[in-house]
Structure 1
């Protein structure tokens, strides 16, 4: 039930005199109550608890019963989730269930079920679970269209803060497209609906009862809600969940370029009306971009007819495009517009390094990085200068802190103010700093034509 509430003051501002014209300002009242909506949606929101087994050396004698009692599963985390299919498909955050040996899901009516993992995506912090309940039909909700959510729209968060299941909080969309440095695909909805520990993985609903976001993170100096929460938008989450259900993993598009933001100075030199587009700093040999004719210094203005204003726009657009798609690029080369066609490869097989991947000859691994000398093969693979010096990053573990600051093809020139000339020496330096618990170390990095300092957790 909705009620329009317009005060005399609001009515007075609904028409603003500006010269001889008036601008109509639409007004929408607050709901009289959120009770009906909350009552309808809560049965599909679940509490999630996980446990990890605590190992130990076997003992005998009088201590054996104590070890049996205390070395079983231990509760590791509490979180939230929501059911999207009557057959028991649950969506939550990956960090809620990461490394869990057992997962238990509790419904609002008190029923508890075990769950197994169908798939996870660490880059967007999304996990999909399957309730172990053959033949049981569950209440479910569905994803809405987060692209239609506007700043100022009402939203409802339902979840399990501090283990208090079925908690309903209300707020508005405070901002869109937030980048909080959580990953490569940051595009968060910001909300002032109270989100606390335990809300992770829970749904953010619009006023039609559709899920427009997955509550994932908060900004807080106290650990509690201060009215700044962040949710993965449903536009992104729906695509990830669909791939996890179909393949058990994500399959993102890959172009094979390193890109930088457009600067106001360069935009003026190129005759652009404003800073927009992604500037290509390097092109990976043999990549879709290279095969499609993309060159360093090209400016990508649109991808598959989607405007590219920032680097993030291009990164997300490419990732969301199915592997094998032939995409159209609108570029600017030497101030002349051009159209190119590129057939996308798969990001997961060309960029990410898994912890158990075999190391190439002469390579070392440290701090989530695979490091190699700039051999002719490495130089050719990453399109580096023939006289490059330093240590080349040839792979990055996507789960490591290094993934936030470095990418394959980067060249580390210095580690902690010391020149980096050999992969093993750089790895030893990082290991020593890690053992000293000295915190982040400053590194000097070359990426294409750019050279910059960055902080790396050793």
Structure 2
């Protein structure tokens, strides 16, 4: 026995420990009753019902689907383009010119093309909202209602700066959507889009708001602080409504960011606050008036911000002040940093166009400027964006959908290049887009767009309305002393 005791002691210690633990667990003051234990075990075995936590979109769709419409447009394109020069006919170059100029002898052939989009009814007497690019250049606009009726629509007005258009059909007693009454949408909120992607009517997709106040350089609607979502949007969805969980319209689906032409996870909508104001102004005036400052601004990165005396990147750096613009008259200078507009802070350069654009021409604004690390304030009386685009000294819409920042040709450069007055548009900058793909470079002067002579940056903006999406337009540019044509694809 004396040899067995050492071997048994460890086992006895374990048994004693287990006994103590069992005794403590059986203490009536702290123990769980048998029914409660069974209930807890039963609950633990049940899977969590995640579906009950997801939003139910069915009621939103049922309440609003009759107010969402399909829009089809017809427009005439082609014709009037450059002719193939006689010296190239019968040579290997003839095929090249036919490819880009169209038609058997160049010049293109006039033809009618159709396109599809979406919209939604905002008044029972037939007012319908959509995107400006959906009805761009249309000779005929037809709205198909949910009951299959097809009505010809009148275009009351468009605003290219915000990409909003207002239509009117001859009808009454139509179902309508409700605009959101506030600006309470937050990143992470659920949203629902409705429209006609690829012509599939009454389609619905859902997702969340992934960012707010997003600017998209080089795109139509550069005056818009877009809502960014992960809702699936495709060609044909443009102009359709974006709903919150209360069934209110919080935006107009306008654009996707894509390298393939289809949805790749990012879509953008025009916020209701801006769209509603634009629609009201079109109803009242037939057009929308936007303020114009006359500066080119760029983003600040960390190094540039530190070099200019800022603790972090914020505001918009003025890279260029347009001659005879409101900014020039107020004494703004290249190198100034706009920190606030009427006391409202500017987080990034892309915030400035929407802040200025929503104000009427003639409005006085106070800009808080950082100049040589000193804060100063400048009062500016805004001009008119519409007048600036059309005037010889105006500033064209930055890049539109082509990816170019255009400006009037300075007098000194015009003399150096031997250009007549009121001719040409100077390429000040290039962003990723069709212009860069075509080989256009900063410093080029655009002289002809198709067969039309370019008088100023506003000429190109107007000509875009007449060109079919996906078409190639021959563009004559002057690069230093060299003249050359480049084929520019219209997105």
TM range (shorter): 0.5 to 0.7
- C-alpha change, 1:158 and 1:396, in structure 2 (3 Å) is farther
Equivalence for 1:30: 54
Distance 1:428 1:217 in 2: 36
Aligned length: 364
Q: Give secondary structure in 2 for the equivalent of 1:433.
A: strand
Residues 417 and 481 of structure 2 are in contact (CA less than 8 Å); yes or no, is this contact kept in structure 1? no
* CA deviation vs aligned residue, 1:85-105 (integer Å, no higher than 9, x gap): 222111112222222222111
Q: Give secondary structure in 1 for the equivalent of 2:478.
A: helix
Scaled by the length of structure 1, what TM-score is found? 0.68
Given candidates 68, 71, 76, the residue that maps to 1:45 is 68
- C-alpha change, 1:162 and 1:302, in structure 2 (3 Å) is same
Equivalence for 1:93: 131
Distance 1:397 1:211 in 2: 40
Q: Give secondary structure in 2 for the equivalent of 1:240.
A: helix
Given candidates 465, 474, 478, the residue that maps to 1:426 is 478
Does 2:241 align with 1:203? yes
Question: Could you tell me how far 1:203 is from its partner in structure 2?
Answer: 0.6
Higher RCO, 1 vs 2 (CA within 8 Å, ≥6 residues apart): 2
Equivalence for 1:279: 317
Question: Could you tell me how far 1:239 is from its partner in structure 2?
Answer: 2.8
- C-alpha change, 1:227 and 1:263, in structure 2 (3 Å) is closer
- C-alpha change, 1:153 and 1:412, in structure 2 (3 Å) is closer
Residues 353 and 396 of structure 1 are in contact (CA less than 8 Å); yes or no, is this contact kept in structure 2? no
Equivalence for 1:194: 232
Does 2:193 align with 1:157? yes
- C-alpha change, 1:426 and 1:132, in structure 2 (3 Å) is same
Question: Could you tell me how far 1:123 is from its partner in structure 2?
Answer: 3.1
Given candidates 398, 404, 411, the residue that maps to 1:374 is 411
* CA deviation vs aligned residue, 1:210-256 (integer Å, no higher than 9, x gap): 21121122244555444432222223322322332222222110112
Equivalence for 2:286: 248
Distance 1:73 1:389 in 2: 38
Decide which moves more: 118-127 or 425-434. 425-434
Distance 1:302 1:187 in 2: 16
Matches within 5 A, 1:96-175: 96-133=134-171, 136-144=172-180, 147-175=183-211
Distance 1:54 1:296 in 2: 42
Equivalence for 2:31: none
Does 2:342 align with 1:304? yes
Question: Could you tell me how far 1:429 is from its partner in structure 2?
Answer: 8.0
Distance 1:240 1:80 in 2: 18
Distance 1:261 1:370 in 2: 19
- C-alpha change, 1:211 and 1:353, in structure 2 (3 Å) is farther
- C-alpha change, 1:430 and 1:38, in structure 2 (3 Å) is farther
Equivalence for 1:14: none
Distance 2:408 2:247 in 1: 49
Q: Which runs of 5+ in 1 are unaligned?
A: 1-6, 9-27, 57-70, 358-366, 380-387, 417-422, 441-456
Scaled by the length of structure 2, what TM-score is found? 0.64
Residues 229 and 266 of structure 2 are in contact (CA less than 8 Å); yes or no, is this contact kept in structure 1? yes
Residues 80 and 92 of structure 1 are in contact (CA less than 8 Å); yes or no, is this contact kept in structure 2? yes
Equivalence for 2:367: 329
- C-alpha change, 1:415 and 1:79, in structure 2 (3 Å) is closer
Matches within 5 A, 1:397-436: 413=443, 426=478, 432-434=484-486
Residues 415 and 429 of structure 1 are in contact (CA less than 8 Å); yes or no, is this contact kept in structure 2? no
| Aligned Cα root-mean-square deviation (Å) | 4.2
Matches within 5 A, 1:254-293: 254-293=292-331
- C-alpha change, 1:290 and 1:95, in structure 2 (3 Å) is closer
- C-alpha change, 1:74 and 1:284, in structure 2 (3 Å) is closer
- C-alpha change, 1:51 and 1:286, in structure 2 (3 Å) is closer
Distance 2:445 2:412 in 1: 20
* CA deviation vs aligned residue, 1:177-216 (integer Å, no higher than 9, x gap): 3334314335322222222222111011111122112112
- C-alpha change, 1:324 and 1:162, in structure 2 (3 Å) is same
* CA deviation vs aligned residue, 1:285-333 (integer Å, no higher than 9, x gap): 4432233332333221101122112221112211111211111111122
* CA deviation vs aligned residue, 1:372-427 (integer Å, no higher than 9, x gap): 46249x89xxxxxxxx99989987699xx999889xxxx964689xxxxxx99818
Residues 369 and 402 of structure 1 are in contact (CA less than 8 Å); yes or no, is this contact kept in structure 2? no
Distance 1:43 1:369 in 2: 43
